[in-house]
Amino acid sequence: MELITPVSPEMDYSNKKIVFLAGPIKGAPNWQADAIKDLADLDVYVANPRRENVMNFNLDLQINWESRFLAAADVIMFWIPPKETDVAGRDYAQTSRFELAEWMAKTHYNHTRKQVVVGIDDAFFGKSYIVKRLQAENVPVYSTYTETLHKVRSLLKNDGRIFFTSDTHFGSERAMTLSRRPFVSVKEMDASLILNWNNEVASDDVVYHLGDFGDLNIRPYLHGKIHLILGNYEIDALKENNALQQQLENRFVSVLPHDTLTLKNGEQVYLTHKPSECKKDMFNLFGHIHGLKKVSINGLNVGVDANHFRPISEDDVLFFKNAILNHYDYEVFL
């Protein structure tokens, strides 16, 4: 276990799963210290918003740090223990209740990969209302710290999955404009793509990015072990800058012009950037054409513009592969 706090140095935290310790601080016992000890045997990052030293406290910096790591977390642990002390002018757990509603809306109701685990002690006033609202959506609420922690640990130990994406074009005004992406600015586009990515992909998942990644400085903010298939933007940039090859290799697990991957059912798919480079005797995953076409007669477009601006899972690929090869009629491909 490695601890991340609001005063931790800036670095790449994408190589391990992150659990965020959400829940009350003011007026609450230091339950976060117990959670840190109880997660110490796992190879994960634990993001703890509690500051031991409140000198020179900066609210904006604290909020920005919490927003970043709540978005980056694979698991958010909400634990609301009994109140320990009264805080004048403040309702107990008032911020935690707001954050719980915010992240349930962002995760559970959008069916994302990120997991929110909710535990509330029976002594917490107002628990019955929260429980009824969450139970209506089939969200369990645990009554003890031990139960909550057990669920968190089980989620952190899950094996990784495989995802596919393409044509993120991070930082590109041109891509945003020409593809008519529904964002008001490049900053909003990048933030949305990062959040969507991390809501689907955990730190131990594998992602095959099929080219035109964009701004390489975004890489540290993305979950997963990323393999890059070169797109036309990377190929053109490599012709002008030989040093870029090393930069790409430093950021990605592998950097290849194309690849062949065996899926979990034993079938193979060919990974390439352009539809024109697909193989006729294989099922292909490609990008390049943004949202102009979702499927071909023997392939699937995994680009973000065709897939709600998020990576798609191996299960999604298998679903569409079966549909394309066995169920869609010829009209689909005209």
- Please check the confidence at residue 82 and state whether its pLDDT lies above 70: yes
- Model-level pTM? 0.64
Q: What is the pLDDT of residues 20-67, one digit of tens each?
A: 999 999 999 999 999 999 999 999 999 999 987 767 778 899 999 999
What letter does residue 24 receive in the DSSP assignment?
-
Q: What is the pLDDT of residues 303-323, one digit of tens each?
A: 999 999 999 999 999 999 999
How far is the C-alpha of 18 from the C-alpha of 222, rounded, in Å? 12
- Helix boundaries (H) for 73-216: 94-106, 127-135, 145-156, 173-178, 186-200
According to DSSP, the β-strands at 162-165 and 312-313 are antiparallel
Task: Determine contact, residues 100/22, Cβ cutoff 8 Å.
Answer: yes
- Mean local confidence (pLDDT), 101-111: 79
- Please check the confidence at residue 334 and state whether its pLDDT lies above 80: no
Task: Determine contact, residues 175/219, Cβ cutoff 8 Å.
Answer: no
The dihedral region occupied by 126, where left means phi > 0, alpha psi between -120 and 50, and beta the remainder, is left
Q: What is the pLDDT of residues 108-133, one digit of tens each?
A: 666 666 789 999 999 999 999 999 99
Task: Determine contact, residues 33/52, Cβ cutoff 8 Å.
Answer: no
- Mean local confidence (pLDDT), 2-28: 92
**Would you list the domain boundaries of the chain?**
2-156, 162-333
- Mean local confidence (pLDDT), 221-247: 94
- Please check the confidence at residue 10 and state whether its pLDDT lies above 80: yes
Q: What is the pLDDT of residues 250-273, one digit of tens each?
A: 999 999 999 999 888 888 899 999
Q: Residues 6 or more apart from 172 whose CB is under 8 A from it?
A: 186, 214, 215
Task: Determine contact, residues 167/175, Cβ cutoff 8 Å.
Answer: yes
Task: Determine contact, residues 304/193, Cβ cutoff 8 Å.
Answer: yes
How far is the C-alpha of 49 from the C-alpha of 252, rounded, in Å? 30
The number of residues in the chain equals: 334
Q: Is domain 162-333 in CATH 3.60.21.10, yes or no?
A: yes
Q: Residues 6 or more apart from 271 whose CB is under 8 A from it?
A: 164, 208, 210, 229, 258, 259, 260, 261, 284, 285, 286
- Mean local confidence (pLDDT), 329-333: 86
- Average pLDDT of the chain is 92
Q: Is domain 2-156 in CATH 1.20.120.1730, yes or no?
A: no
Q: What pLDDT was estimated at residue 109?
A: 67
According to DSSP, the β-strands at 259-262 and 283-286 are unpaired
How far is the C-alpha of 216 from the C-alpha of 207, rounded, in Å? 15
